[in-house]
Amino acid sequence: QGMVCHETYKSTSGNWLLPEQVKKTESGALVDSVSGEAVTLGRVEKMSKSKKNVVDPRHIIESYGADTARLFMMSDSPPERDLEWTDAGIDGAWRYVNKLWRLLYEHLDAIQSAGDPASVTSGKALEIRKKTHQTIEAVTQDIEAFHYNKMVAHIRELSNLLGSIDTSDKQNAAAFREGIEVLIHLIAPLTPHLAEAMWQTLGHDDLVALRAWPETDSSLLVNDVITIAVQVNGKVRATMDVSPGASREELEKAALEQPNVIRALEEKSVRKVITVPGKIVNVVAA
């Protein structure tokens, strides 16, 4: 189990100081906020009362809210590693909480009357739906494995994709509505207050905490294409999107038809083609 750590501070008189007792001058020097004594910045160590490198959670909650504190602690490090408590980390979590609020409100009008996401069959909307259901599966596995930092990373990936969609399109709006509702479910264990507020804003009159955990649609978990690199003599010359089930012969043919590969092979003869299905094609030429 990792420890929560923080920088240590000691005055010139040899006294340990609490983080809130230290301020930074315009020149960047650290001083005692009361006496003005110079302060030495020590090592990052586990929080302890003896070295006073502790942070009162009340100050964090008053300034940023409980959800921000929870999100930061879960997102920064895996449970077996030490967590370094930093103002920058807290600020980052707070900005993400606000980003989710904006994400919902910027698209709220467009998704109020969104249709059935099951009607989505192609384009950006289908990409959103696939990412939504792949995220459900990933986050469920992360929670079961106590990988909360990975859980947050997967949720961020989904929110980033949702932020790129144009909800003036009806299919996009339907996919966004499903995606944002799933995101609220997934982030509720980390930021319960935010999740419930967003849930109510969407027009629900119950609690997301009382809803069943979202289920995946298995048909949306399979990628139709994968991207693999094409090398010539070990140097990447192109990438190509192919079917996950493409044969070695199909991959070799597609690789040799890439324009950049054709140019790289000018005045050369192909000696052999090394193919690792699903990963890479390397053309050896001389």
Residues of the chain with pLDDT under 70: 1-6, 19, 34, 42-56, 76-86
pTM of the model: 0.65
Token representation of residue 274: 């090394």
Cα 176 from Cα 152, distance rounded (Å): 19
Angle between helices 66-75 and 87-111 (to 10 degrees): 110
For the chain, the DSSP string reads -PPEEEEEEEETTS-B--GGGEEE-TTS-EEETTT--BEEEEEEEE--TTTT----HHHHHHHH-HHHHHHHHHHSS-TTS-EE--HHHHHHHHHHHHHHHHHHHHHHHHHTT---GGG--SHHHHHHHHHHHHHHHHHHHHHHTT-HHHHHHHHHHHHHHHTT--TTSHHHHHHHHHHHHHHHHHHTTT-HHHHHHHHHHTT--S-GGGSPPP---GGGSS-S-EEEEEEETTEEEEEEEE-TT--HHHHHHHHHT-HHHHHHTTT--EEEEEEETTTEEEEEE-
Amino acid in position 257 = E
226-232 and 280-285 strand pairing: parallel
Cα 180 from Cα 209, distance rounded (Å): 15
Which pLDDT score, from 0 to 100, does residue 1 have?
44
What domains lie within the chain, and their CATH numbers?
Answer: 4-55 (2.20.28.290), 89-220 (1.10.730.10), 226-285 (3.10.20.590)
Which pLDDT score, from 0 to 100, does residue 6 have?
64
pLDDT tens per residue across span 202-239: 999 999 999 999 999 998 987 777 889 999 999 999 99
Which pLDDT score, from 0 to 100, does residue 58 have?
78
Which pLDDT score, from 0 to 100, does residue 18 have?
73
Which pLDDT score, from 0 to 100, does residue 42 have?
67
Phi, psi of 231, rounded to the nearest 5 degrees: -110, 150
Which pLDDT score, from 0 to 100, does residue 255 have?
93
Which pLDDT score, from 0 to 100, does residue 34 have?
64
Q: Closest Cα partner for 74 from 151, 185, 148?
A: 148
Q: Closest Cα partner for 88 from 112, 119, 64, 111?
A: 64
Which pLDDT score, from 0 to 100, does residue 178 have?
98
Contact 110, 173 (CB under 8 A): yes
